[in-house]
Structure 1
Amino acid sequence: MTNNTTRLDHVVLWVADPVAAAGFYVQAVGLEPLRVSEFAEGKVAFPSVRVNEETILDLAPHTFADRMRMLPGSADGAGHPVNHVCLSLPADAFDILRARLQEQRVPVTSVGHDSFGARGKATRNFYFRDPDGNVIEVRHYDE
């Protein structure tokens, strides 16, 4: 890994209950929890879940939105969901995640094909919502 390449570091998702949201992303999606106990103890402002060694999802409570003052007007857009976040997985992990979500009765869309993304056309993709309504897309590319 080099430090001179642009990468996606994190995405902030607005959630009602960060601990419950972390539990969903750990149990249903299979991501690694970060700082959940520290958040529950009041030591940090929000927990996160790790997507890969370089990228995390921050699970910010809606009450945190009024703190978004990094630029003039930032608080006005805080708390609004993004359209969706897309996770790219290997084909076998794609199948495992889809099955796990269905086992846990998380509604998923039908499988789509040839949707365009960062690496061209994905072989397959599907969507689901987390308990806070954030839309997650999952895809895989032929390697």
Structure 2
Amino acid sequence: MTDNMTRLDHVVLWVRDPVAAADFYEKAVGLEPVRLPEFAAGEEPFPSVRVNEEALLDLMPLSMAERMKMLPGAAESAGHPVNHVCLALPQGDFDTLLARLEERAVPVSDVSQGSFGARGEATRSFYFRDPDGNVIEARHYD
């Protein structure tokens, strides 16, 4: 990638309890929390979890939805969930994630094959929900 290439920077997920959400994403999904101590100390409005060196999932408190005023009408649509967010993982990390979720009794969908994504058809994929009901897809490519 080059510095002038368009990239996905972050996705905002609405959550009831950002600390609990960060804990889930760290322990069940394996993503590193960012700004969690600062959020807990009241110094930052929300924490995040790092997907990779270039992308974050922001864990926005649902209580902030009414304050979304970046565009006319934004407050009325804030808190509306996206359909799902997809994480592409190496095969070993995919298998580890599936096992970790099953250990924690997190319901997961059946594992499917051949779903289309940014890099073509995925070898395998499955879906699960975080504690706030956000749907996450995990997949790997060969």
TM range, smaller chain? over 0.9
Q: Which residue of 2 aligns with 1:48?
A: 48
5+ unaligned residues in a row in structure 1: which ranges? none
- Residue 2 of structure 1 and its aligned partner are, at CA, apart by 2.8
Give per-residue Cα distances to partners, 1:91-137, cap 9 Å, x unaligned. 11100100011001111111001001111110100000000000000
The letter of the residue matching 2:116 is F
Matches within 5 A, 1:1-143: 2-142=2-142
Structure 1: how far apart are the matches of 2:119 and 2:127? 18
The letter of the residue matching 1:74 is A
TM-score by length of 1: 0.97
Give per-residue Cα distances to partners, 1:51-109, cap 9 Å, x unaligned. 00000000000111112111111111101111000000011110010001100111111
Structure 2: how far apart are the matches of 1:129 and 1:51? 17
3-state SS, counterpart of residue 28 of structure 1: helix
The letter of the residue matching 1:23 is D
The total of aligned residue pairs comes to 142
Regions of 4+ moved over 6 Å = none
Q: What CA RMSD, in Å, does the superposition of the two structures yield over aligned residues?
A: 0.8
Structure 2: how far apart are the matches of 1:123 and 1:2? 27
Structure 2: how far apart are the matches of 1:67 and 1:139? 34
The letter of the residue matching 2:45 is A
Structure 1: how far apart are the matches of 2:2 and 2:67? 33
Structure 1: how far apart are the matches of 2:102 and 2:115? 22
Structure 2: how far apart are the matches of 1:114 and 1:123? 6
TM-score by length of 2: 0.98
Structure 1: how far apart are the matches of 2:12 and 2:65? 11
5+ unaligned residues in a row in structure 2: which ranges? none
